[in-house]
Amino acid sequence: MNPAASANTFACCGVSERSVWNKKVLDAQQQQWQDMFLETPEMFGTEPSHPARKASELFKREGKTKVLELGSGQGRDTLFFAQKGFTVHALDYSNQAIEAINRMAHDLGLSQLIITKVHDVRNPLPFGHETFDASYSHMLFCMALTTAQLQFLSEEIRRVLKQGGISVYTVRHTGDAHYKTGIYRGEDMYEVGDFIVHFFSREKVELLAKGYEIIGIDEFEEGKLPRRLFLAMLRKK
Structural domains of the chain, ranges and CATH numbers in brackets: 3-236 (3.40.50.150)
Give the strand pairing for 195-198 and 189-192.
antiparallel
* pLDDT tens digits in sequence order for the chain, 237 residues long: 443 343 333 333 333 444 444 567 666 766 665 566 555 655 556 799 999 999 999 999 999 999 999 999 989 999 999 999 999 999 998 888 899 999 999 999 999 999 999 999 999 999 999 999 999 999 999 998 999 999 999 999 999 999 999 999 999 999 999 999 999 988 999 999 888 999 999 999 999 999 999 999 999 999 988 999 999 999 999
CB-based contacts of 150, cutoff 8 Å, min separation 6: 141, 198, 208
Given a contact cutoff of 8 angstroms between Cβ atoms, the answer to whether 68 and 157 are in contact is: yes
Q: What is the pLDDT of residue 25?
A: 67
Question: Collapsing DSSP states into helix, strand and coil, what is residue 201?
Answer: coil
pLDDT score, position 14: 39
pTM of this structure: 0.85
Phi-psi sector, 194: left (phi>0), alpha (psi -120 to 50), beta? left
- Name the residue among 218, 220, 229, 147 with its Cα closest to residue 188: 147
CA 44 – CA 191 distance, rounded (Å): 19
DSSP at 45: -
Q: What is the pLDDT of residue 92?
A: 94
* DSSP 8-state symbol, 200: B
Amino acid at the residue 81: F
